[in-house]
Each structure stands twice: as C-alpha cells, then as structure tokens.
Amino acid sequence: MKLNPGAVAKITQDIGRGRHPGFLIFGGDRGLGRESAVLIVTAIAGAVDDPFRVAVLEGSSTKNDPARLTDELNALSFTGGRRAIWVREAGDSLTADVTSALAMLESQDPETRNILLVEAGDLDYRSTLRKLFEGHPHAAAIACDGGEAQAGELIDREIAKAGLLITADARATLLERFANDRALLHLALEKLTLYMADAPTQPIDGDVLSACVEDPETAGMQEVIDALLDGDAPRLDKAFERALSGGLSAVGLLRAAARSLQRVDQVVRAARGGPIDAAIAGLRPPLPFSARASFAAQCRSWTPASLDEALSRLIAAESLCKTTGLPEDVIASRALLALASRRRASGRTR
C-alpha cells in the first residue's frame, strides 16, 4: 500500500500494534525520508540508538549476506519488546530477499513480530522493490519526494515567522541548494534566522547566504566538480577519495556532478557560440563574481554533444549503484574518471 509522509505520525499506533510488517521509505528528499524512518523506528523500539532493539544494516552488506536479514528479523531483544531491522541504502537487488522476509513476517504474530524498515533513495515506477511494497496488502511504501513548491512554502513560512525578508535571488539559491533535502533546508533557515536576529530590517541576500549558509555542493564536493570540469583525472581521483572520507556519498557526488554539468549545458546552449560571459551573467541564481572566470574557462571546454554524453553516463552510473549491488564508490569513481579523461582528451583535439 502507499502512504504519504504526513501519514507516518498518524499511524504510529498501528505500528505499535504490528499492523504493518514492513515499510519502504524512498524518494529524493533524504531529509524527509530520515525523519519518517526515525518516527517509525522510535514507535517500535522507543529510540533509534537502542542496540538491543534496533539493528541497522547496509543494503550492500545485506545483499552479500541475505541470511543475516532473516537472522535479525527472528532475533529476540535481550531487554524485551519488538525490534526494528533498519536496512539503509537499499536497491532493487534486495527485492527477492525482502519478499521472503515479508512473507516470513506475515506468518508471525502481529503483536510480537519484529518490523522491517527499508530505506532507499530515488526509485522510479519500474522499481521491483517499490512495486513489492506498493502492491503488498499490509506493508507500506512511503514516497518522500522533494519539490520546489513544498520547499518554497517552508522558506516563506519560516522567514515570515521570524519577521524577516528575503530577496528573490537568495530564495532561488536556497531552493536550488536544498529543495530536495528538507533536513538541510531546516538547518539553513535556522542559521539564517539566528544570523539576522540583530538586523531584522535587512533583507537576506546573496551576501548573507555566503556568510552563514554552507552550500552542500561546494562543501567537500566542489573539488571533485572542478577536477571533472577541468578534465583533471588524477586530481579528481584524490578529491573523490577525500570526499568519501569526509562522509559524502558516491551517489551524492554523482548527483552533484550532474547538477554542475546541467549548469554548464545551460550556459553553452545559451551562448550558442557567442560570449560565454554574457550567458553566465544570465544564470539564476547568479554565480558569485569570484567564480565566474574559472567557470567560463570550464564551459568553453565542453560541447553540447560531450555534455549530453556525460549526463547520460552519470544517470547510468547512478542506476547501476541502485540496482546491481556492486560497490557504489567503485561505480561512481569509474564513471567520473572516465568523463574527466575523455574531456581532457577531447580538449587536446580542439
């Protein structure tokens, strides 16, 4: 069955009674998805950090050891009570194992059985994992899709509640950065309201954003992006490893690369052989002046054809991350390095 995120808080009583043996949380809004996951796990186990009643598994390790999922679902808590088995970063490669797990849970006492929670990223309508939960009579699929409309409403509501003003460009920048992650958007708005507490009549503009709100793409990702756009494969390889060590995900880096290439594509097609600088000046949200020269040089080294190929490669790589069970960092690294190497080779021929 399908549920919307707003229904999660209302069904915690049913969760407590074991009505639903399993939940799938998926979609582009990772922040909203994690909020929903925390609500469900807390309803079952009382807290998300109880080692006796909560088991957190990674999708890749679960695929490599399917017996562990069954063992965890059948295990009893040393302290009593039902347990939550929380599988993160899941994909379609787990569909068969999850199908068996749900069938096993359905055969158990609803008031005492443990609960399976599967957390995934974006899953399109063809996803076998999504179809399993949406078509199941008792398990539930919860779509947590980000959207500019909802994010815009949140920005306007929080800014008005704080008695502040925000410029159109600053609002657009917030939407571009955080529309698909409500948790990060909440944090950014909290920082802004605290920062502006002593200057409530001054509107929030680009300078204010630069001063107190860290761009999730430029924080740890920008070195990867610059190396890719410059076609510098050795620098990209090192930057990619540092980004992963810093806690960034391989899929997140693929998406950041795709967003940056889409912006390059927007400039290249707008320029149509004319002045790149003029096309960059027309970007909304605007690019900081300090970054325009290097970005212009990067744009000049890409063509519409090479950008189409690069974006297709990144989309395919993200799909592989979600469906094959292979290590995501290996898939993402190979895709990014191949694009950087090809960009450098094509640059030498022009």
Nearest CA to 70 out of 80, 60, 57 is that of 57
The CA-CA-CA angle for residues 94, 79, 8, to 5°, reads: 50
Burial class (CB within 10 angstroms; exposed 0-12, middle 13-18, buried 19+) of 105: buried
CB 32 within 8 A of CB 5: yes
User: How many angstroms separate the CA atoms of 217 and 334, rounded?
Assistant: 20
Q: pLDDT tens for residues 167-183?
A: 998 898 888 777 767 76
Residue pLDDT, tens place only, 7-54 = 676 666 666 566 788 999 988 777 778 778 888 888 888 888 888 999
DSSP string, 118-160: EEES---TT-HHHHHHHH-SSSEEEE----HHHHHHHHHHHHH
Segment 86-107 shows an average pLDDT of 90
d(CA 107, CA 73): 12
- Indicate the domain borders of the chain: 2-143, 148-212, 222-349
pTM above 0.75, yes or no: no
Fold annotation for 222-349: Zinc Finger, Delta Prime; domain 3 (1.20.272)
Q: Quick check: 253 and 243 in contact, CB under 8 A?
A: yes
Which CATH code fits 148-212?
1.10.8
Q: What percent of the chain is modeled with pLDDT above 90?
A: 21
Length of the chain (residues) = 350
> Are the C-beta atoms of 29 and 114 separated by less than 8 Å?
no
Tell me: the pLDDT tens digits for 305-328? 888 889 989 988 988 887 877 889
Radius of gyration of the chain (CA): 23
Q: CATH homologous superfamily of domain 2-143? A: P-loop containing nucleotide triphosphate hydrolases (3.40.50.300)
